[in-house]
Structure 1
Amino acid sequence: MTGNWVLALQERLWGLAPWDAKKISDEWFRAHFEYAADVVHQWVGSVLDMRTARLLNFGCGDGITDLSLVLRYGATAIHGVDIRREYAKLPRIAREQLGMRRIPSALTFETITPGAPLAGRRELVDGIMSWSTFEHVQRDQLAPIFADLYACLRPGGYFFIQIEPLFYSPFGSHLRRYDDVPWHHLLASEDELWKVIQNHEGPMDASEVDFGFADFGVEGYKRFVFKEYQALNRLTADELVQLTGQAGFVVARQERRQVDMAIPDGLKGQYPDELLLNNEIFLLLQKP
């Protein structure tokens, strides 16, 4: 999907391929095509013109949000990077969920090696965005990656980061597909958590089932999700702000959302209440 000149030619001749949001039947697709794209546009679109900005999506996943930003908000240049190739499914997904015959030429995607630098390989971008990605990055790679992304951004450009759920929040394990006990990952052992997942039967919340599920199967997906939990870097909102500041970014705007839940007696006093209740951060950064 990196050679988009054919798509660009088709669009010049016939325009963007027709699409119909009424065809959407998958809840994961709907959440990322509607809610996630709306949030990104609210934050990024408030400081950049989506119609002219060159954008980089770090951790683009399946590319659904990028597709929505093009179709619904007029973005014309988004380059998505990820360590997995979930974006390769986007043509099929768009055909099934929107009836689209081809993906817009505004979208390009690339598979990257964890920790490999991006700066200097492409033209500087006007904006960078990242949706629920940085909690999955190894701790020792966070500072180098933020420094590299700083170098990818033009002076005056913006970097939008969203993370949800944060690790110490009620469902910060990312295991809610299988375990609906708040803060269970802070109260139980890994063996106990794994047994809960192993014993889970029945359907999951449709909005939590991504398009990679079919690649793993029921039991394989359980193992994949649990390994993802074990690899979480336990990044807090304060640490995120500190690390990005060390890279040179300045905070233009931020919002931290908290859950309204009672903290279990077993956790009171072990962690600050704010840490346990803060489940999401929206962070808009600028390169001076």
Structure 2
Amino acid sequence: MTEEAPSADVIFETATDKAFKARATFEYQQVRKWAGHRINFSTARILDFGCGQGVAAASFALRHPEARVIGVDIEPVIVPQLNNLLKAQIDRTIPSNVSYRTISPTPFSSEKFDLIYAWSVFEHIKEDKMVDTFAMLKDHLADNGVLFVCCNPLYFSPHGSHLYKYFKSPWHHLLLTLDELRDGVVSDGFLSSEAREWQQFLQLNRLTAHDIMGRASAAGLKCIRQHLSKTDIAPPPRLARLYENDVLTTTELVATFS
């Protein structure tokens, strides 16, 4: 590990926005923890699959100036907005060793990567497209490359709807009707953010951790390591009669593949 990482870590610790810090620091630390013993981050070719605003990809690039980082998403990264965010939080701008592309989940090039990571992406991929998506990412792994996947929250877990700011009660999406859920999200003004979050909920897949691992295996990926996180909250009796306890209480899947 080169000397730039500690100083960059100090810079990111000065950020005050919690969401920014989670993507720029916690996400990096977790990927590093899981893949750092197999990948030389300092010179790696890195792909952020489902990069969102582009914060995490920029954080990897800032920490490792000799690495090459690409962030891809189905929605474009708004570069001026990202620059403003980096400037406000850590007094930096987008580094030259990161670039962003807009793609659909199909093969986008013949490039190979030492590390591909997908953070809270696979909950949003359609069930019938997941094997193909895993296979595509496998094709883009370099020899000895690593794919890191974090799925959180899984659909059947207490807050698997992703509608955190609208509902605080656990398993609300399994206990309420669709109309009740919609009424809790969409206001009379029908804000664009509400419409987007409601549509995101409707498009979530209903896959369990076991389902996702099975699809990765079907795509030819070999699991290096996996971990399942559980909640201590007891499922209500009504749901306990309908679903297996492991399905309801498994909140997160983290795994690496080759």
**Are 1:166 and 2:154 matched, yes or no?**
yes
Give 1:251 deviation, angstroms: 0.6
CA contact (8 A) 1:57 1:128 kept: yes
Partner of 2:4: none
Cα distance in 1 for partners of 2:59, 2:20 equals: 10
- Indicate which of 229, 249, 253 corresponds to 2:221: 249
**Are 1:24 and 2:24 matched, yes or no?**
no
- Indicate which of 31, 34, 38 corresponds to 1:47: 38
Give 1:123 deviation, angstroms: 2.7
CA contact (8 A) 1:66 1:107 kept: yes
- For residues 237 and 61 of structure 1, do their structure 2 counterparts lie closer, same or farther at Cα, with a shift above 3 Å needed? same
After superposition, the C-alpha distances for 1:170-223 in whole angstroms (9 at most, x for unaligned) are 0000011110110010111111011122469xxxxxxxxxxxxxxxx9822112
Give 1:235 deviation, angstroms: 1.9
Cα distance in 1 for partners of 2:156, 2:95 equals: 39
Partner of 2:200: 228
- For residues 73 and 124 of structure 1, do their structure 2 counterparts lie closer, same or farther at Cα, with a shift above 3 Å needed? closer
- For residues 22 and 164 of structure 1, do their structure 2 counterparts lie closer, same or farther at Cα, with a shift above 3 Å needed? closer
Partner of 1:103: 94
SS of 2:238's equivalent in the other structure is coil
Letter in 2 for 1:24: A
Query: What TM-score comes out, normalization by structure 1 length?
Result: 0.81
Cα distance in 1 for partners of 2:253, 2:66 equals: 24
**Are 1:276 and 2:248 matched, yes or no?**
yes
In structure 1, the gaps of 5 or more residues are 1-16, 201-216
In structure 2, the gaps of 5 or more residues are 1-7
CA contact (8 A) 1:23 1:99 kept: no
SS of 1:78's equivalent in the other structure is strand
After superposition, the C-alpha distances for 1:117-171 in whole angstroms (9 at most, x for unaligned) are 22xx243111210000011112221111111111111232110000100000000
Partner of 2:163: 175
Partner of 1:148: 136
- For residues 156 and 141 of structure 1, do their structure 2 counterparts lie closer, same or farther at Cα, with a shift above 3 Å needed? same
Deviates most, 30-39 or 173-182: 30-39
- Indicate which of 64, 74, 77 corresponds to 2:68: 77
Cα distance in 1 for partners of 2:112, 2:22 equals: 30
**Are 1:191 and 2:183 matched, yes or no?**
no
Identity of aligned residues (%): 33
* Residue correspondences, number: 250
Partner of 1:206: none
Cα distance in 2 for partners of 1:192, 1:42 equals: 41
- For residues 73 and 260 of structure 1, do their structure 2 counterparts lie closer, same or farther at Cα, with a shift above 3 Å needed? farther
SS of 2:56's equivalent in the other structure is helix
Partner of 1:117: 107
Cα distance in 2 for partners of 1:29, 1:93 equals: 9
Give 1:265 deviation, angstroms: 1.4
Cα distance in 2 for partners of 1:218, 1:103 equals: 34
CA contact (8 A) 1:78 1:108 kept: yes
Give 1:23 deviation, angstroms: 5.0
Cα distance in 1 for partners of 2:102, 2:11 equals: 29
Cα distance in 1 for partners of 2:16, 2:128 equals: 40
Say which structure, 1 or 2, has more relative contact order (CA 8 Å, 6+ apart). Answer: 1
Q: Which runs of 4+ in 1 moved over 6 A?
A: none
Cα distance in 2 for partners of 1:75, 1:180 equals: 43
Q: CA RMSD in A?
A: 2.2
